[in-house]
Amino acid sequence: MPIYEPGLEELLARNAARLHFSTDLAPALEHARLLFVAVGTPPTHSGDADLAAVNQVVDAMPGSERHALVMKSTVPCGTGATIQRIFGERGKQGMAYVSCPEFLKEGSAVRDFRSPDRVVVGDSRDWAGDAVVELYAPLNVPLVRTDVASAEMIKLAANAFLATKISFINEIANVCEETGADVIEVARGVGLDDRIGPKFLQAGIGYGGSCFSKDVSALKLLAANSGYHFQLLNAVTEVNELQKRRVVSKLQRHVGDLAGKRIGLLGLAFKPETDDMRGASSLVLAARLQAEGAVVSAYDPIAEDEARKLMPRRCAETW
């Protein structure tokens, strides 16, 4: 496996006889009706989602009435309508389209797939949507069947809300430090309210990874391009960036000048049980600590190889 994900390597080994890999599209078109698109949509310099890989898939699709494109990749609201328009312009209007966003969390992706909170299917109420619903039926979980645009928005809104929840509890933590309250106790008391819940109420140094930052930015730009200024998400992003840098000032308050001090970073990936270093707060911390003259030692039992490529050179040398 090119990535680390608990249980995934064993799952592939157990089902190897049922899996086929190819860089040629023809075998997939011959043997499958539902063509799942799971390509990356990283942020561009402007913050929009880069749909280059999605567009390559769309370009490769045939004009077939027996195939459906099922979009798992996170795309801006309106992408499905654009793809369907392109199909029509190119004489491929027979190709059906379904939005079925994924909600897997790195580090628990296998478990999340088998026991998801919900399955979202956005379609035109045609055979393709029926087929996707039937495919996921054995999971026996809540199903949200809706239109394509709403399905696309559900994914962006869900991630933006979780990011907001993280930034909120970090703001509460900062106020608790000034008032003498214990943020762990505060989060426990707040999280027992079933309207709020305890998940994502763990104060820390802010969220990282590729999804939250990308999706918050994409939703913010989508709103702006539609003529609406999404003020709340601006604050969510600002709080998250400042939170990473507060760690350095807190260290200075407790130990004084950091020049020559050895600081250990334990855990480098953006979250446990993954080797994903995209958007990892450790990268910001290492750079800031070294700028203050500290000697940084870093360790992660899973993400070491990926981290070495990205950590500041002096940090990698003191691994």
Domains contained in the chain, CATH given? 8-146 (3.40.50.720), 162-317 (3.40.50.720)
User: Which of 192, 211, 13 shows the shortest CA–CA distance to 106?
Assistant: 211
Rounded Cα distance between 3 and 5, Å, is 6
| Interstrand relation of 68-71 and 96-99 (parallel, antiparallel or unpaired) | parallel
Residue 315 annotated as catalytic: no
The confidence score (pLDDT) of residue 244 equals 86
The pLDDT-based confidence of 317 (bands split at 50, 70, 90) is: low
- Residue ranges with strand state E in the chain: 34-37, 68-71, 96-99, 119-122, 143-146, 262-266, 295-299
Point out which residues pair with 309 in neighbouring strands. Answer: none
**pLDDT mean over 165-171:** 97
- Catalytic residue chosen out of the listed positions 77, 100, 176, 211: 211
Contact yes or no for 209/141 (Cβ under 8 A)? no
Q: What is the residue whose two structure tokens read 């106790």?
A: 185
Model pTM above 0.85: yes
pLDDT, one tens digit per residue, over 85-108 is 999 999 998 999 999 999 999 999
Residue 225 has which token pair? Answer: 């391009």
The pLDDT-based confidence of 49 (bands split at 50, 70, 90) is: confident
**pLDDT mean over 271-286:** 91
Rounded Cα distance between 53 and 37, Å, is 10
pLDDT, one tens digit per residue, over 109-148 is 999 999 999 999 999 999 999 999 999 999 999 999 999 9
Distances (CA, A) of 283 to 8, 204, 232, 280: 27, 15, 26, 6
The confidence score (pLDDT) of residue 314 equals 63
Rounded Cα distance between 147 and 155, Å, is 13
